[in-house]
Amino acid sequence: MENLLQQPIEYLKGVGPARAELLKKELNIFSFGDLLQHYPFRYIDRTKFATIKDIDSDEKYYQLKGIITSVKTIGDNRQKRLVATFKDATGVCELVWFKGVQWMEKSIQINQEYVVFGRPQLFNNRYNFPHPEIELVKEINADGVQSGLYPVYSTTEKLKFKGFSSKALAKIQKTLLQQLKPHDVVEILPPNLIAELKLMMRFDAIHNIHFPKNNAAQQQAERRLKFEELFLIQLRLLRTKIGRHQSTPGFVFEKIDNYFDNFYKKYLPFELTNAQKRVIREIRKDVLCGKQMNRLLQGDVGSGKTIVALMSMLMAVDNGFQACLMAPTEILAQQHFEGISSLVKELGINVAMLSGSSKTSERKFIQRELESGTINILIGTHALIEDTVQFKNLGLAVVDEQHKFGVQQRAALWRKNTTPPHILVMTATPIPRTLAMTLYGDLDSSVIDELPPGRKPIKTLHKFDSARLHLFGLIKEEIAKGRQVYVVYPLIEESEQLDLKDLMDGYESFAREFPLPNYRISIVHGRQEPEDKELEMQRFVKGETQIMVATTVIEVGVNVPNATMMVIESAERFGLSQLHQLRGRVGRGGSQSYCILMTGNKLGADARTRMKTMCSTNDGFVIAEVDLELRGPGDLEGLQQSGVMNLHIANLATDQRILQTARDKANELLEQDALLQKPEHQRLLQLIKNVELEKKVWGKIS
């Protein structure tokens, strides 16, 4: 039925084998159907133009119409750039290309009218446009499109070089659309849903997304296609969730009268927050219902997830099961081990620790004790999931900082018992609601949205490198109060050598400013031997050193309540979520803590927004939302591997409302027809099954 859409792309008129190869390689377009799904990412609105004299901000995009009066190349071969002079009735500005210079130079037509679209930058007090999109006005007008909207497609330098500009893509789209018959694009959504939401039919939507009749039709087409895309994902996720609730049996933890109660009544070192109590109740309900728990626990840094993990593990132990806690780094595992051991030391529970650096004899001993059931709680790194580690009766597995682990690693935990253990995954990286819905849409979710009482909000300041003396002064004041200070340098793999040099230079400048014997400094980075790293870390933890100069290895884990100042060097090079994570290392004791963001004097618009956001809020969820807006979802950690993220048109940052509707409607539909047996749901079922075949692993595993 959908034969036309399955045709290989080389068969389309105007493509041919050579260009087809490029389309496959560069844009993943293999078939006619793939081409149709290569939607425009924006439109040239031929009715709306700004003028050069209107330009007043480097944070906005502008669309201009005017004439390119001259082009010249500047610089030598290594750093060549092309500068075009662009003029309209109100003024003159420059268009600049650093890449594809030769090709641009050849293709630009002097004294012809162009539409220019881009974001300007301020240089020598004048605005110019780096790498703008440009289109010849005569070509836009030549294609006979009636409405004001002309599609713009993303393409690549290589494609452009072979003549496949956005314009050329528009041309083959048009060729294809002219061949398309209604039966080639069958409707997949049930009629009542289309009626209820007043959605445009699929066939019309495909036409209007590429060549809109008018603005309203474009909006309707976009809404329809976004909804369809998100709806299918939600339907799939919810089916997995419902299926698991119905079919995966779980251990029942009925009793909490011994360890759990005892701990709660006698040894709990503080009153639980309401949020912690609520989450513990949610977990308890899960482990009582006879189905396997798969729960995501989100809570900002310092919100107290560990105690929730511990109390959940006690529920398992109370019922004769073992529990384990897996952390992403040795340091974090060690800290969990020490913290938890000391919390339960009066309970008579056996807690052990296993990591990559455990000695062979120790490892053997632990393995024996695990198999005999002597060990109740095992804490460790991913060493826990190795096949040699066998439990007598694992009932609950907790994964801390789950975004650091891959799907495969989490999957291994499922197999540690004949009935899969309950799974609790914890993350301190707050995820915007829409993202959580999509990324973890098949998990149940809990949130700790309250910090323990008595915490003073961390004060965050942004300083330029030129204010370094002031920074030193602030650090000295803090140390004089008996406090400790972190200084963190970025370490990005690609520029590791350079970064390491920065770190060493930084260390030396701190060593000069804070000399012995009054001051002592620890240094920690990824290139050190593990023992050295551990030793330096311990010196800081024990308070023997007052300053710790480090790379981001300290991002997760360390807990030093006496550390009250976090200095982040080259803060503009960090993403928002990483800045927030780093800041969470301080503010853990009762005293006022500070985070100081050091940056170069010149900052881009995004970097300014990041600094402003950090200075204005401590709320991880707000920060996550801004992060999502700035970066778009594509870059966020863990999203690629989720396999649900190959979105063609929907945008998780901006389409929250459509996503919510899609989830609600998917829920309603499954409530009426859980197995998708009704005739009007057959196309949906078929589509979902196709995707499920491809994503088999992901579908089943938390």
336 part of the interface to ligand ADP, by CB under 6 A: no
Which amino acid, one-letter code, is at 615? C
* Site for ligand ADP, residues 401 to 460, rule: CB under 6 A: 428, 452
Taking the least distance from each CB to ligand ADP, the nearer of 9 and 297 is 297
Q: Which two tokens stand for residue 166?
A: 């956005």
Q: How many helices (H) and strands (E) does the chain have?
A: 27, 22
* Number of other residues whose CB lies within 10 A of the CB of residue 98: 12
Q: How far apart are CA 466 and CA 472, in angstroms?
A: 12
Binding part of the chain for ligand ADP, among 57-65, 108-116, 295-303, 615-623 by CB under 6 A, reads: 295-303
- Is 336:379 a contact under the CB 8 Å cutoff? yes
Q: Which two tokens stand for residue 512?
A: 């000069």
* Number of other residues whose CB lies within 10 A of the CB of residue 473: 11
| Alpha carbon separation from 401 to 23, 496, 564, 586 (Å, rounded) | 39, 24, 23, 18
Binding part of the chain for ligand ADP, among 94-102, 297-305, 479-487, 658-666 by CB under 6 A, reads: 297-305
Among 66, 120, 212, 302, binds ligand ADP (CB under 6 A): 302
Q: Least CB distance from residue 647 to ligand ADP, whole Å?
A: 31
Q: What are the residues facing 73 on neighbouring strands? A: 82
Taking the least distance from each CB to ligand ADP, the nearer of 562 and 656 is 562
Q: Which two tokens stand for residue 371?
A: 């198999």
Among 176, 205, 307, 323, binds ligand ADP (CB under 6 A): 307
Binding part of the chain for ligand ADP, among 272-280, 472-480, 504-512, 571-579 by CB under 6 A, reads: 272-280
Q: How many residues bind ligand ADP (CB under 6 A)?
A: 17
Taking the least distance from each CB to ligand ADP, the nearer of 237 and 379 is 379
Taking the least distance from each CB to ligand ADP, the nearer of 561 and 632 is 561
* Number of other residues whose CB lies within 10 A of the CB of residue 584: 21
Taking the least distance from each CB to ligand ADP, the nearer of 276 and 702 is 276
Taking the least distance from each CB to ligand ADP, the nearer of 244 and 305 is 305
Taking the least distance from each CB to ligand ADP, the nearer of 559 and 591 is 559
191: left (phi over 0), alpha (psi -120 to 50) or beta: alpha
Q: Which two tokens stand for residue 403?
A: 């975004």
383 part of the interface to ligand ADP, by CB under 6 A: no
* Site for ligand ADP, residues 449 to 508, rule: CB under 6 A: 452
User: What are the DSSP calls for 606-669, one per residue?
Assistant: HHHHHHHHHHH---HHHHHHHHHHHH-GGGSTTHHHHS----SS--TTT-HHHHHHHHHHHHHH
Q: How far apart are CA 467 and CA 471, in angstroms?
A: 7
Q: How far apart are CA 624 and CA 477, in angstroms?
A: 32
SS3 call for 327: coil
212 part of the interface to ligand ADP, by CB under 6 A: no
Q: Least CB distance from residue 498 to ligand ADP, whole Å?
A: 32
Taking the least distance from each CB to ligand ADP, the nearer of 245 and 455 is 455
338 part of the interface to ligand ADP, by CB under 6 A: no
Q: How far apart are CA 340 and CA 516, in angstroms?
A: 36
Among 55, 101, 301, 676, binds ligand ADP (CB under 6 A): 301
Per-residue x/- track, 529-568, ligand ADP (CB under 6 A): ------------------------------x---------
Q: Which residue is nearest to ligand ADP (CB)?
A: 304
Residues in contact with ligand ADP by the rule CB under 6 A: 270-273, 276, 299, 301-307, 428, 452, 559, 588
